[in-house]
């Protein structure tokens, strides 16, 4: 009898584990790539990862950094002269000619849509002063935005340097940064572009190589393709659905188009944005001095599964209040912070500000008549 109960016990345990593991496997996207990541663009939360922090060759997704530096240079309207060195760059090309004059903006479109290596070198020489100068800018920007496992040696991603690498995670960080720039976002999401051709009567027409954007996945908003013999297929894409914005990166992905679709569908199905702390006045601080007078300048948004919503907790850490603050005297810049926890892990924090009574300056009698006279004759504050 006891033996029979043990068999039933083990059967129940086995069934439970089987169901749990099966659901877990079904929940995760199928990914062929050696390294991959899915990141929420708004919050930076990692929704899925596979060996995402291993340093790897990245091929032409390098050009995301080249593009954002060009955009941020303030020289997009500048006409530049293409050097023989740039025109002679090997690999994918937009077929620039030595001595050709072309706007930097057109070079960036050629870089992102057609992955022009000649365009990358022309951009580097004109934005950085030289290839070496531009590579320095690339690495400085990488440090600035938190790409801790990245080193650039060229502006295009060709296999001509051994010390040129990044990770899936770092490339997601870079893409998240770049997508905050409206000009970059527009270029990365452009399906086709016309650029003047000085050697012909018609314009060049460049169609984006990113097939997710042009054909395969209607929610795609941008990205960059890449391939070299040593790096294999690399791909960065962004997608938006129902106001949710995601970033996918794969390195050495033989079936990368489907990898990205699978990751995006997983993210859109399982995660939603939830406002943990709304922007504006805080109504849940009961202290007599603080009540109705504290506020935050931005909202705290989390990307959560339905099950995780119950695991969110907000703690308000406040300074000891002073009655003088009510009169606007000696109020600190920040009087506290709202700390947001997910499953008891801190995931965000917001500075809390205090709004005291504004002191009204008494206008002198002559100011009153001056303002009244201006109003009478229709003079406005802005002239």
Q: Which residues are catalytic, by number? A: 60, 63, 115
Residue 225, token pair as written in the block: 């393709």
Q: How are beta strands 294-296 and 345-354 bridged, if at all?
A: antiparallel
368 vs 383: CA distance, rounded Å: 19
**Distance from CA of residue 370 to its chain's centroid?**
52
Whether 32 and 258 have beta carbons less than 8 Å apart is answered as: yes
DSSP string of 5-74, one letter each residue: HHHHHHHHHHHHHHHHHHHHHHHSPP--SSEEEEEETTT--EEEEESTTS-B--GGGGHHHHHHHHHHTT
**Distance from CA of residue 328 to its chain's centroid?**
39
Element (H, E) at 228: strand 220-228
Map tokens 């060195």 to a residue: 85
110 vs 117: CA distance, rounded Å: 9
Residue 145, token pair as written in the block: 């935005």
CA-wise closest residue to 272 among 299, 247, 241, 297: 241
Map tokens 């399982």 to a residue: 270
* HSE of 60, CA atoms in CB hemisphere, 13 A: 29
CA-based torsion, 159, 163, 167, 171: positive or negative: negative
CA-based torsion, 50, 56, 59, 65: positive or negative: positive
Whether 277 and 314 have beta carbons less than 8 Å apart is answered as: yes
CA-based torsion, 323, 326, 328, 331: positive or negative: positive
Dihedral angle computed from the Cα positions of residues 279, 338, 246 and 25, in that order, rounded to the nearest 10 degrees: -140
Alpha carbon distances (Å) from 129 to 80, 132, 142, 362: 12, 8, 19, 57
């Amino acid at each position: 009898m006891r033996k029979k109960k043990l068999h039933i016990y083990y059967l129940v345990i086995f069934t439970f584990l089987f169901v749990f593991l099966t659901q877990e496997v079904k929940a995760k996207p199928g990914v062929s790539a050696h390294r991959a990541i899915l990141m929420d663009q708004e919050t930076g939360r990692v929704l899925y990862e596979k060996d995402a922090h291993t340093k790897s060759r990245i091929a032409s997704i390098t050009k995301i950094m080249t593009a954002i530096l060009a955009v941020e240079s303030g020289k997009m309207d500048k006409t530049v002269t293409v050097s023989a060195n740039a025109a002679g760059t090997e690999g994918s090309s937009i077929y620039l000619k030595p001595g050709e004059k072309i706007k930097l903006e057109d070079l960036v479109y050629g870089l992102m849509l057609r992955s022009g290596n000649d365009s990358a070198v022309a951009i580097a020489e004109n934005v950085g002063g030289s290839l070496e100068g531009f590579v320095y800018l690339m690495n400085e920007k990488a440090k600035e935005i938190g790409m801790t496992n990245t080193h650039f040696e060229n502006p295009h991603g060709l296999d001509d340097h051994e010390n040129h690498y990044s990770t899936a995670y770092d490339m997601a960080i870079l893409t998240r940064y770049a997508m905050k720039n409206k000009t970059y976002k527009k270029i990365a999401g452009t399906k086709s572009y016309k650029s003047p051709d000085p050697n012909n009567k018609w314009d060049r027409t460049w169609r984006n190589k990113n097939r997710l954007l042009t054909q395969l996945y209607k929610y795609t908003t941008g990205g960059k393709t890449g391939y070299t013999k040593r790096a294999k297929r690399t791909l960065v894409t962004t997608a938006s659905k129902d106001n949710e914005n995601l970033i996918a990166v794969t390195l050495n992905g033989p079936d990368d188009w489907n990898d990205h679709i699978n990751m995006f569908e997983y993210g859109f199905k399982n995660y939603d944005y939830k406002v943990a702390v709304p922007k504006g006045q805080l109504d849940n601080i009961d202290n007599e001095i603080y009540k109705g007078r504290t506020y935050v300048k931005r909202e705290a948004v989390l990307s959560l599964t339905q099950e995780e919503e119950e695991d969110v907790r907000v703690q308000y850490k406040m300074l000891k209040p002073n009655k003088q603050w009510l009169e606007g005297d000696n109020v600190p810049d920040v009087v506290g912070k709202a700390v947001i926890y997910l499953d008891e892990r801190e995931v965000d924090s917001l500075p809390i500000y205090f709004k005291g009574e504004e002191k009204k300056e008494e206008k002198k009698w002559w100011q009153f008549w001056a303002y009244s006279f201006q109003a009478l004759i229709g003079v406005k504050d802005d002239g």
